[in-house]
Amino acid sequence: MKQTKKIPLDLGKNSYDIFIGEEIIDQVGLFLKDLSFKGRVAVVTDPKVEGLYGSRVKKSLKKAGFKFILIQIPAGERYKTLKQINRIYDSLIQNHFERSDLLLALGGGVIGDMTGFAAATYLRGVSFVQCPTTVLAQVDASIGGKTGVDHPEGKNLIGAFHQPRFVCSDPAVLRTLQKREYRSGLAEVVKYGVIADEAFFGYLETHSKAIRDLDLEKVRHCIHRASQIKAEIVQADEHEGGIRKILNYGHTIGHAVETLTGYRKVKHGEGVAMGMVAASRLAVELGLLHEDDVKRQVKLLTAFGLPTRLPDLDPGDILEVMAGDKKVVGGEIYFVLPKNIGSVDVMKVDKKVLKRFLKALPKYV
């Protein structure tokens, strides 16, 4: 087994470690044992991931002496609903799960968000752990305790903060992702370079082909650095009252695109890629950013096979969805806008300015 790296996330009583290493998916049971956990485990996953990695996780749990059950829910953002959360509750209740037991999320960001929300709300809160199997989940969704489900009017409008006991990220599992799914997750990796680390952004530019082609050494570094940045930000602001808001770079318009396309046509990372380019162009319009920094982002996202242009959507519809976003404060829409590569600000943007900008956005494509 390759060397395992550990990133500690210091949140007082909610502190935990992020483990990163190839083949560590086979060590989940040992990690639980090291925590002196003695309860039962409910492995929550989807049919595809269960077929790929379920046996390895179950073997690890069995070897460590844990009793477990398996709960399958459908894959995909459109199933990230309260109806599916009820399916998890039903299984837990039928199997008499108690507060001393634990949920294990095995899958991508949707599985992680839903498992965490079920854990946060079942019996008013039980423990859970994250075993993310996508790039998006490893660098973003599994870290920081954001859990929840979507609503027809918007993404992640129903949820809770509930930190996992640990995160177990195995870059080797990314080999089984479809190319589109893998590349979609790279948008979140690019995000970290723009919001916090120009040197990391430069690393992504230099090694874009190797990363796109899933060179594990380069990808492992990406997962580790992005996770470090996320951990540092979450440590400073666990409940998104301040600096943690910068993690939403590209998400305001990106989420609107996902919502308006019914969570079917555009993957989350693709929406974020479009949203980052739109936000950076807005920053240029507002005199915050140089056009060259927009071009660098477009070039890198394109190298990763990601879209940089919004689909043909009505600007008024985009604005309406953004107005219902959970990040709206006092009816005002806030954007994360870059000042340069490696630094961003959170700013209120007037709705009239936004509407004019969205109508004019096609001139850029």
Q: Residues 218, 225, 248, 296: which is the catalytic one?
A: 248
Residue 152 contacts residue 114 (beta carbons within 8 Å): no
What gap in Å lies between CA 31 and CA 26, rounded to an integer? 10
Q: What is the residue-wise DSSP string for 233-258?
A: HHHH-TTSSSGGGGGGTTHHHHHHHH
Q: Residues 268, 270, 281, 296: which is the catalytic one?
A: 268
Whether 96 is catalytic? no
Whether 59 is catalytic? no
Residue 250 contacts residue 273 (beta carbons within 8 Å): yes
Other CB atoms within a 10 A radius of the CB of residue 34 amount to: 12
Q: Residues 87, 212, 224, 255: which is the catalytic one?
A: 255
Whether 238 is catalytic? no
Whether 146 is catalytic? yes
What gap in Å lies between CA 7 and CA 81, rounded to an integer? 31
Mapping DSSP to helix (H, G, I), strand (E, B) and coil, where does residue 101 land? coil
Q: Residues 155, 225, 244, 281: which is the catalytic one?
A: 244
In one-letter notation, the amino acid at residue 350 is D
Whether 151 is catalytic? no
Whether 230 is catalytic? yes
Q: Residues 77, 156, 165, 188: which is the catalytic one?
A: 188
What gap in Å lies between CA 16 and CA 149, rounded to an integer? 23
Longest dimension (CA), the chain: 61
Q: Residues 251, 267, 281, 296: which is the catalytic one?
A: 251
Whether 124 is catalytic? yes
The single-letter DSSP state of residue 105 is E
Other CB atoms within a 10 A radius of the CB of residue 54 amount to: 18
What gap in Å lies between CA 8 and CA 234, rounded to an integer? 11
Q: Residues 58, 80, 87, 146: which is the catalytic one?
A: 146
What gap in Å lies between CA 27 and CA 23, rounded to an integer? 8
Whether 268 is catalytic? yes
Q: Residues 13, 96, 124, 352: which is the catalytic one?
A: 124
Mapping DSSP to helix (H, G, I), strand (E, B) and coil, where does residue 262 land? coil
What length is written for the chain? 365
Q: Residues 212, 218, 224, 230: which is the catalytic one?
A: 230
What gap in Å lies between CA 28 and CA 61, rounded to an integer? 7
Other CB atoms within a 10 A radius of the CB of residue 93 amount to: 11
Whether 244 is catalytic? yes
Whether 191 is catalytic? no
Q: Residues 240, 285, 309, 340: which is the catalytic one?
A: 240
Residues taking part in catalysis: 124, 146, 188, 230, 240, 244, 248, 251, 255, 268
